[in-house]
């Protein structure tokens, strides 16, 4: 009995995979880690699988498409392992429908995964506070329906096309299997290899779900004919693999159709399926030359990747890339930071400050409000917008009248930019309700599906589709997908060139917005504004012998010959919100080529730019205001308990240095900003005050007993599970967590301070 179990075909296949196909099993292991929320929780990757969105909502259709993707990936696993290992089990060639029989017996790993996924999915959705359990049943039927339909169609194809030994050599199909000389040589080698193969199998599970014994004596069948059965089966597998890959790539032509933008999880699973199927296709055509061929293709592709065709820049939409590139060298930078230039830009901003001052009575002393917002993907965008709505209401609609500058990074700037645009439009359209919750829904709508889908069908190979903006053609890429979806979500609210904000900012109808993405070439900031702000890049009062290195480059002056004012405002926001591997780094028209990355790398909280602005205009501020209020909006806790460290394992010791840098980057910037703020506060001759808001899950966890009295997490993963993920897609539970956080004791106290704060003296 024990031998019959151990030497049954399903268990022998399992042992073979564990011994020989570990690389393929790693993909299943990765998916398991994801659904157990042990991989990518901070980035929200598990939620893409457990709570997928399609057409901006979790629905029957979204789970149906994920089910389809899982079925295709499962079939890719079956097809590839059959191509790799099927000839080891020669008895398959003489049983009916050999490939279908193989799939059934090869289902231990997929079946275990499906059971675990369904349990995890049901557990997650039950915790998601659904309206009723019928919705859960709808999701379950969607996933099962997508899976079963895909399996049925594929098995129907294989049932008609894959032949067993007796059908194949009846005389009709054999004529179609003529071999080239290379294939004959491969055939002879495989016959020798399979003679040496020792895979003992006593019984197998038939498609009628009955245990059947394996015919041990195959001496009456010629080895070459047996292998032809597998080759015929393999050919049909390669055909379906090619058809599936081609279908996915063809979908890329119509990828802007929202109905074709698959859930991000489905796109990711299909990407794994393509990689798995390529392994099978290469093994079929190249046999033992597969590995050298793959290495050679990688080397060739790598050498070609820096050519013009494969390495097309990810462009900033609106800029003129046809002109000669701007010289990006020290001489040009020093010329742009000439004292006369800085004075000219400073004087222009002083005119803006005078216009700001003119909004208030002559005999009053208004407070100048500077707003800083932190990065953090979509959670920061939603949190910033929610806080600004509440802060504007708490000050009886006076906050943005006093606001002069908004600085920050990434998603926080997107949320602040949306509120600023709404505030601007409300001045001419009183029907606009700044506090409408519709805007929270818009800013938090899914923005990830089109990005990942574009990565799957377009950016992984080469980009060959164009679109037109302001009379110029640009290649479509993930950045375009991000901007296009943000436009759809916000109904085109921010779709305008940056020059459209010149007059409103000059007249002080809206606060200035300093976008400061990082230039990866040298670590400087690129200050993007509707007008030149060169004074942000170096000290205005520097002396000749000071030998000060410039800290920033003014975008308007540096790219003045490339129509800098036509830069699309959403592109400018994306330049400050470049998420690694999701939204690509933008390359600008300069020599050497300037590459832009997320502003959060240099200052995720916008504090440095706000304090720089205060320093440059401190004399005017002292004379014309009663001081400055810094309204800071963070998407992380400023104060957090120090967790107890357990003794690390060897692997943890290996990764700890990199992990510590990543985890503490937020703390390093916070501490540095605290030093700058306190020094500035001590040196100024006028009041510098600060009111802070922060998205924190600490109070939420305390209420549920998930932290001890000292504030430490009882389980290390609780913080990641409860906290909204760093992503461009949020679940319903995450959105609620962010919006409700305004009612925490800490933020409630900040709102009370703001209500009682004297903005006008």
pLDDT tens string 470-503: 999 999 989 999 999 999 999 999 999 999 999 9
Alpha carbon separation from 171 to 94, 161, 350 (Å, rounded): 16, 15, 91
Domains, the chain = 1-170+181-305 (no CATH), 326-639+658-710+721-756 (3.40.1090)
d(CA 35, CA 299): 34
C-alpha 509/C-alpha 304 separation (Å) is: 51
Position 567 scores a pLDDT of 97
How large a percentage of the chain has pLDDT more than 70? 80
- Backbone torsion region of residue 508, taken as left when φ is above 0, otherwise alpha when ψ lies between -120 and 50, otherwise beta: left
The whole-angstrom separation of Cα 151 and Cα 69 is: 11
**pLDDT score at 237:** 65
CA distance 553 to 294: 44
Contact between 408 and 605 under an 8 Å Cβ cutoff? The reply is yes
Pull the structure tokens for residue 388. Answer: 């600004």
What's the token pair of residue 674?
Answer: 């605290």
Lowest-pLDDT range, 643-647, 676-680, 707-711, 730-734?
Answer: 707-711
Pull the structure tokens for residue 141: 């039927």
- Residue 554 and residue 336 in contact, taking contact as beta carbons nearer than 8 Å: yes
> What is the reported pLDDT for 177?
38
Higher pLDDT, 382 or 133: 382
What does pTM read for this prediction? 0.85
Dist. CA 226–CA 373, nearest whole Å: 68
Range 212-226 burial, b when 16+ CB lie within 10 A, else e:
eebeeeeeebebeeb
pLDDT digits (tens, 9 = 90+) for 248-306: 777 767 777 888 888 999 988 988 888 887 776 676 667 667 668 777 877 887 776 66
Query: What residues have CB less than 8 Å from 381, skipping those under 6 apart?
Result: 411, 412, 414, 415, 418, 443, 444
Secondary structure E strands in 179-310: 203-205, 211-213
């Amino acid at each position: 009995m024990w031998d019959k179990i151990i030497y049954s075909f399903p268990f022998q296949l399992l042992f073979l995979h564990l011994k020989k196909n570990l690389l393929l099993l790693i993909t299943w292991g990765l998916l398991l880690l994801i659904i157990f929320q042990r991989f990518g929780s901070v980035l929200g990757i598990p939620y893409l699988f457990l709570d997928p969105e399609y057409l901006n909502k979790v629905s029957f259709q979204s789970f149906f498409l994920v089910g389809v993707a899982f079925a295709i990936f499962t079939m890719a696993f079956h097809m590839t392992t059959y191509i790799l290992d099927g000839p080891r089990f020669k008895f398959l060639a003489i049983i009916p429908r050999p490939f279908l029989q193989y799939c059934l017996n090869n289902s231990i790993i997929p079946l275990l995964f499906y059971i675990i996924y369904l349990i995890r999915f049901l557990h997650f959705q039950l915790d998601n506070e659904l309206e009723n359990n019928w919705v859960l049943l709808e999701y379950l039927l969607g996933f099962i329906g997508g899976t079963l339909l895909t399996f049925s169609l594929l098995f129907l194809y294989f049932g008609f096309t894959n032949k067993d030994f007796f059908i194949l050599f009846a005389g009709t199909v054999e004529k179609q299997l003529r071999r080239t000389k290379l294939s004959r040589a491969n055939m002879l080698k495989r016959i020798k290899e399979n003679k040496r193969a020792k895979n003992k199998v006593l019984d197998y599970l038939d498609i009628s779900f009955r245990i059947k014994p394996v015919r041990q004596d195959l001496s009456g069948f010629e080895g070459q004919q047996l292998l032809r059965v597998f080759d015929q089966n393999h050919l049909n597998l390669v055909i379906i693999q090619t058809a599936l890959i081609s279908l996915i790539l063809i979908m890329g032509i119509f990828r802007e159709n929202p109905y074709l933008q698959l859930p991000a999880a489905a796109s990711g699973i299909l990407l794994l399926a393509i990689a798995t199927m390529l392994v099978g296709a290469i093994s079929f055509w190249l046999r033992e030359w597969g590995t050298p061929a793959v290495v050679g293709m990688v080397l060739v592709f790598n050498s070609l990747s820096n050519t013009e065709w494969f390495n097309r820049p990810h462009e900033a939409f609106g800029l003129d890339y046809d002109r000669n590139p701007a010289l990006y060298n020290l001489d040009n930078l020093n010329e742009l930071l000439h004292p006369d230039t800085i004075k000219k830009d400073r004087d222009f901003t002083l005119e803006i400050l005078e216009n700001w001052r003119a909004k208030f009575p002559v005999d009053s002393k208004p407070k100048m409000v500077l707003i800083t917002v932190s990065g953090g993907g979509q959670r920061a965008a939603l949190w910033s917008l929610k806080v600004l709505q509440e802060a504007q209401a708490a000050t009886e609609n006076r906050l943005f009248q006093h606001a002069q500058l908004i600085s920050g990074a990434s998603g926080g700037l997107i949320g602040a930019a949306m509120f600023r645009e709404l505030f601007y439009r409300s001045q001419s359209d009183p029907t606009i309700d700044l506090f409408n919750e519709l805007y929270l829904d818009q800013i938090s709508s899914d923005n990830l599906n089109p990005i990942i889908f574009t990565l799957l069908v377009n950016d992984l190979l080469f980009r060959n589709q164009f679109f037109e903006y302001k009379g110029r053609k640009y290649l479509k890429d993930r950045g375009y997908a991000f901007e296009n979806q943000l436009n759809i979500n916000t109904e085109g609210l921010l779709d305008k060139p940056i020059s459209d904000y010149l007059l409103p900012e000059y007249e002080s109808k809206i606060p200035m917005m300093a976008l400061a993405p990082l230039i990866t070439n040298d670590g400087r900031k690129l200050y993007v504004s509707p007008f030149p702000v060169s004074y942000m890049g170096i000290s205005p009062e520097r002396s000749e012998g000071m030998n000060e290195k410039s800290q920033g480059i003014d975008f308007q002056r540096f790219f003045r010959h490339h129509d800098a004012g036509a830069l699309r405002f959403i592109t400018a926001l994306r330049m400050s919100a470049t998420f690694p591997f999701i939204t690509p780094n933008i390359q600008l028209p300069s020599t050497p080529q300037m590459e832009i990355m997320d502003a959060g790398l240099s200052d995720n909280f916008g504090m440095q730019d706000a304090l720089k602005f205060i320093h440059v205009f401190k004399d005017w501020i002292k004379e014309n205001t009663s001081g400055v209020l810094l309204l800071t909006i963070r998407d992380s806790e400023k104060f957090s308990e120090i967790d107890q460290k357990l003794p690390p394992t060897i692997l943890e010791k290996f990764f700890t240095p990199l992990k510590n840098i990543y985890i503490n980057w937020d703390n390093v910037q916070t501490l540095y900003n605290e030093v700058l703020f306190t020094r500035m506060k001590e040196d100024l001759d006028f009041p510098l005050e600060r009111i802070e808001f922060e998205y924190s899950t600490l109070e939420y966890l305390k209420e549920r007993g998930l932290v001890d009295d000292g504030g430490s997490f009882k389980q290390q993963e609780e913080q990641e599970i409860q906290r909204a993920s760093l992503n461009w897609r949020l679940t319903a539970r995450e959105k609620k967590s962010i919006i409700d956080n305004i009612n925490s004791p800490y933020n409630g106290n900040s709102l009370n301070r703001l209500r009682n704060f004297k903005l006008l003296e």
